[in-house]
Amino acid sequence: ATMASDEPKAKKIKLADVEDEEKKADPNSLFGMGNPLLDICAVVDKDFLDKYTLKPNDQILAEDKHKELFEELVKKFKVEYHAGGATQNSIKIAQWMIQKPHKVGTFFGCIGKDKFGDILKQKAEEAHVDAHYYEQDEEPTGTCAACITGDNRSLVANLAAANCYKREKHLDVEENWKLVEKAKVFYIAEGAAFAKEQDFETKDIKEIAKKAQALPKVNSKRQRVVVLTQGKDETVMAQGDKVETFPVVKIDPKDIVDTNGAGDAFVGGFLSGLVQEKSLDQCVKAGHYSANVIIKRAGCTFPEKPDFK
């Protein structure tokens, strides 16, 4: 009789195990911090490019002569707004890959107390990202204008408020720091030309991955994992003394619309796997999938749901 009563219990445990395997990431378990920009996209005419001396296909930082560009873009053309900036893009894509629960991704950055800041907050909310912005009124919200002519995109970024983040006024505030403590995975982008900076004296991507992996590390309990992407060429991952390569998803060049957000999208896909405790191979595959989706669309945008198995 004892045996009989034990059996259903055993079955229950097995079911619970299965449910655990499929368990999604917890809210606020992924934390990102960077420069939040409001992407303002519009199809423009040649006169507009000429007025602001913009090349049809380019990425530049705004100078004084571009100050009026953002307001004029909004007034003159039909614009689309998206929450942007590299780190915020990656957190947004990770959240899209995960779908539920909402607000797995937390994002910190600095914006202005203005109309563009309000739109950015609304766009982050629509993307189900838990964005907590430090708001100040010395500088306006950072923006990135995407001026589209045909297949070309001329990007003009004005970092403005994005450069004004104050740790002591935001990160160190108790309720914000609690969100940092809830996170398991942290992403803060660094844009330095890493190998050059480190004097690696090699352009061989596998060698660079190996050398970066072997750099001194404060936390010796966990090995560093280095992942390097190379556009359409294979992705390289170094872990321990092992270097692996992963081919990217094949794509017909005529299906490529815009490669600008590809790197952010790869990171977002990779992070979505990492925060769900998937194997690193699976994380790379998720990164390849999301990058493949993003390059077929204009801007760092995506369909309603991912189709990634």
- The SS3 of residue 99 is coil
In DSSP terms, 228 is beta-bridged to 236
* 206 sits in which H/E element: helix 205-213
Helices and strands (H and E) in the chain: how many: 10, 12
Q: Which residue is catalytic, options 64, 118, 264, 307? A: 264
How far is 158 from 57, CA to CA, in rounded Å?
Answer: 17
Tokens of 131: 């964005």
Cβ neighbours around 128 below 10 Å, total:
17
Residue 193's nearest CA partner among 228, 163, 238 is 228
- The SS3 of residue 282 is helix
In DSSP terms, 143 is beta-bridged to 38, 158
How far is 304 from 309, CA to CA, in rounded Å?
Answer: 16
How far is 229 from 236, CA to CA, in rounded Å?
Answer: 6
264 catalytic? Reply is: yes
Catalytically active residues, by annotation: 264
